[in-house]
Amino acid sequence: MPRKDYTHSVYMPIPWEIFHRDTRMLAHRILATKVVYKGIIAIARGGLIPACIIARELDIRTVEAVSIASYDDRSQGTPRMLKGVDADLVGDGAGWLVIDDLVDSGVTASVVRDLLPAATIATVYARVEGQNTVDLFAVPVNSEVWLLFPWDAELSPNEPLARLRSPAGEAD
C-alpha cells in the first residue's frame, strides 16, 4: 500500500477534559447496546487511554492490547502488526470490545476486523472515510481536521488565527 500523506488545514487540540467527556459519551453509546463484554482490546497506542476509561465506566477488568503501526508521524503507510492478541483467550473476538482513539481511513480497523471478525470495534472519534469500518463511535471529525490528542501535544502560546492567514497579519 502506498503511503498517504495527510495535509490538514485545521489542527484541533483536544484537552484532557474534552477527551474524557467524549470517551464517556462513547461509553454511554456502548452501554445503550445492552451487550455485556468479556473484555476490552485496546489498539495501541492511541486506544490505550480510552480503553482504560471505557473499562472503568463499563466495569470491565480484562483488558488486552493489539499493536498495529500504520502511521509515521502524519504519514500513513502499510499497516504492520507489532503485537497480536492471545488467540486462546480472545478467539475470533466474539464478546470482546475493541477500542481506539480515532478511525481515520479505516486501515487499522480493517486489520483488526480481519484478525477479530466477531469483535465490536468502537472509537472515540471517526472521520467520514473510516466510519463504516467501526461499529460505534462518539464524535464525527471532518477530513481537514487533524486532532492533537493531549498526549501528542504540548502546551505553548499560539498566534491569533488572523495573524496566521497571511505573512503581514492581514486577512486574505
Per-residue pLDDT tens for 8-26? Answer: 578 899 999 999 999 999 9
Four-CA torsion 37, 38, 39, 40, nearest 10 degrees: -40
The C-alpha angle with vertex 81 and arms to 80 and 85, in degrees rounded to 5, equals 165
In this prediction, residue 164 carries a pLDDT of: 74
The pTM assigned to this predicted structure is 0.82
Question: Whole-number mean pLDDT of the chain?
Answer: 87
Among 100, 114, 135, 152, the active-site one is 100
Spatial distance between the Cα atoms of 135 and 55, rounded to a whole number of angstroms: 18
- 104 catalytic per annotation: yes
The HSE-up count of residue 158 (CA atoms within 13 Å, CB side) is: 10
Among 5, 88, 101, 152, the active-site one is 101
pLDDT above 50: residue 61? yes
- 101 catalytic per annotation: yes
Residue 155 banded pLDDT, cuts 50, 70, 90: low
The identity of residue 167, as a single letter, is P
Per-residue pLDDT tens for 88-142? Answer: 899 999 999 999 999 999 999 999 999 999 999 999 999 999 999 999 999 999 9
Spatial distance between the Cα atoms of 138 and 32, rounded to a whole number of angstroms: 12
- 88 catalytic per annotation: no
Residue 58 vs residues 19, 38, 45, 124, 139: alpha-carbon distances, Å = 17, 11, 21, 15, 19
Residue 76: strand, helix, or coil: strand
In this prediction, residue 75 carries a pLDDT of: 58
Among 104, 114, 152, 172, the active-site one is 104
Sketch the domain layout of the chain as residue ranges.
4-154
* CATH class label, 4-154: alpha beta
